[in-house]
Amino acid sequence: MASEKVVKLYTDTLCPICKLLEQYLTSKGVKYRKINIDEDSKGKEAFLKLGYDNLPVLDVEGATILGFNPEAIEEALKQKEIVRT
């Protein structure tokens, strides 16, 4: 079940794994705010301040998950009660 809680996805236009993650989130019905660092300079600045270089990064209410890791994402979404199974 989708909710109004904040999920942010840091992504890049040219990142194929980012697109796979977007498809995964959509299939799970998760609403998220997409921050494309390729087009959003402030977004890129915020992303680099997180201390990461690799994309994608998913921020589930402050819990960050690096890369396309369905198990970790699922767990974070459950913990934050964003997806109930």
Partner 1 sequence: MWTLSKGEFRNLTGDAYCRLCSERLESNPEANNTVTCGTCGTKNRISFQQDIWVIERVSEEPEKEIRDRAEEFALLRSYKFNELKQRIIQSLIKKREKYGDFYCPCKARTILENVCPCKETRDGSVESKGRCTCGLFWKQ
Q: Which is nearer to partner 1, 3 or 67 (CB)?
A: 67
Beta bridge partners of 33: 8
Does 51 participate in binding partner 1 (rule CB under 8 A)? no
Does 53 participate in binding partner 1 (rule CB under 8 A)? yes
- Residue 12's SS3 state is coil
Residue type, 64: T
Q: How far is the CB of 23 from partner 1 (least distance, A)?
A: 13
Stretch that binds partner 1, among 1-9, 15-23, 24-32, 73-81 (CB under 8 A): 15-23
Cis before 70? omega within 30: no
The Cα 82–Cα 70 span in angstroms is 14
Number of residues forming the site for partner 1 (CB under 8 A):
16
State which of positions 27-46 bind partner 1 (CB under 8 A): 37, 44
* Cβ-based neighbours of 22, under 8 Å, separated by 6 or more: 9, 11, 34
Residues in contact with partner 1 by CB under 8 A are: 12, 14-18, 37, 44, 47-48, 52-56, 67
